[in-house]
Every structure is written in C-alpha cells, then in structure tokens.
Structure 1
C-alpha cells in the first residue's frame, strides 16, 4: 500500500513540477522579449546562457546579433507560448510572435537550468505556419 501511495504522489507531483518549470521558462523568455522591445540590451543579456555570453562576449555584440539576425525578436508583439518539450534531455519552448510589420514567426528556444535559474541557450527560427491555405 505504501508503494502505491508513493507512486501516486509522484504521479501527481511530476506534472506540477513540469508546470512550474514551464511558467519559469515562459517568464524568462517573456522578460527577455520585453527587454528587447525596451531596447534594454543589458537586461536581455542577463537571460542568456553562459554559452551565449561566451560567444558574444558583451551585451552590445549580442544586441547587434539579435537586431540583425532575429528582427522579429528585436521588435516583437503578440507573443504566445506554445508547447514545452524535451528532446535529448534539453527543454525547448516553442514561441509564436509577430514582428513589427505583423508577420507571424515561430521560434524554438533551447533552455538550460543554471544556478542563476533558467537561461536561454539558443533560438532557432522554425518554418512559419501555413495560415489561410
């Protein structure tokens, strides 16, 4: 009976833990998107993983890369969080957003948990959804 009870508690607890992780991850991504809209690259930099920080060295380089390579992130609106999933041990948060011209984009955020909390470890632009076809 005790084994059944422990299994039951675990079965209930795991979805709650995943839900809490999802909310934390959405907060991180949402905060970084807000920082880019405010042109606060220093704040946006704080949500980047150590690997990303190592690649760009300082916030200005990072901001320039986002502005040039991810204009839909630099000027974003109407952000919607889609599914959070695990692939090969890495959590990916799919995000749909609109750019400054109203274009729809789907991005996949790779997330890692660090001692400072969840951080963004990379972003991939996915093919746009086929709307109205």
Structure 2
C-alpha cells in the first residue's frame, strides 16, 4: 500500500519533468528553424546548410545545391518578410513537427511545416519542409 501511494505521489513530478523535457525539445527545434531562417535572410548559405539533417545533406551534398533548391523551390522560406511559429507536435522521442506561418517576399501568406529530428549530439536538425500558400493564417 505504501509503495503504491509513494508511486502515485511521484507521478505528478514525473509528468512535470516530461513536460519540461518536451518544452526544451520544442524550444531547441524552434531555435534551429529560427537560425536557418535568419541565415537565409542574411544570405549565409553555409550557416543555413548547417541546420540541415544528414538526410537532406545526402540529397543536396553541397551548400550551393542546397541553396539553389531553396531559392528555386522555397522563395517564401528563402526571403520571408516575417514569420512566426504556429502549431507544434512531438511525434515521438526527439521528433518534432513545427508549423511556421510566413509572409513571403510577395506579401502573401504561406504555411511551412518543418520536420526535425534530434541528433546524437542532442541538437535538432531539419529533416524536411513542406510549403503551401495559405488563404488564412491562423495558429
């Protein structure tokens, strides 16, 4: 009986620690996206490429090929007028999906959905991004 009561008493502390771990992972993932977007804005291709996960670097093995892909296919991400974080979901241990609401260089609204994976060193890297025009921006 005491063991059950003790375990029950520890449960809220365990749940709180999981929430803080989740918040820390989300902040780290958002920091990676923010860093990459700021690097794009600053025309720092090498820094932007540094936020890409190994799977992306395998497809785009150089900074130039990566930047060409972003410039030609993701203009709102490459040169956003503004951006803000929307919905976020932890899809598994060390795996995050983050919505980013973007006003593109054309003044139109876009939704970018980033996927990120925690790396062995603890950092989060961007594994993918899907982009679509948005008729209404909401969080």
TM-score of the pair, normalised by structure 1 = 0.91
Report the counterpart of residue 105 of structure 1 in structure 2: 110
1:16-49: CA deviation from partner (whole Å, max 9, x where unpaired): 1111111111110000000001110000000000
77, 80, 85: which is aligned to 2:89? 85
Report the counterpart of residue 22 of structure 2 in structure 1: 18
Q: Which runs of 5+ in 2 are unaligned?
A: none
- Name the larger-Rg structure: 2
Q: Does 1:124 align with 2:114?
A: no
1:87-130: CA deviation from partner (whole Å, max 9, x where unpaired): 47742001001111211110100100102410000001145143
Q: Which runs of 5+ in 1 are unaligned?
A: none
Query: For residues 43 and 112 of structure 2, what CA distance do their matches in structure 1 show?
Result: 20
- What is the 5 A alignment of 1:21-32? 21-32=25-36
**How many aligned positions are there?**
131
Q: Which moved more, 1:19-28 or 1:62-71?
A: 19-28
Secondary structure of the 1:76 match is coil
Report the counterpart of residue 61 of structure 2 in structure 1: 57
Give the CA deviation at 1:12: 1.2
- Cα-Cα RMSD: 1.6
Stretches (4+) displaced over 2 A? 86-90
3, 6, 14: which is aligned to 2:7? 3
Report the counterpart of residue 40 of structure 1 in structure 2: 44
Report the counterpart of residue 80 of structure 2 in structure 1: 76
Q: Which moved more, 1:40-49 or 1:74-83?
A: 74-83
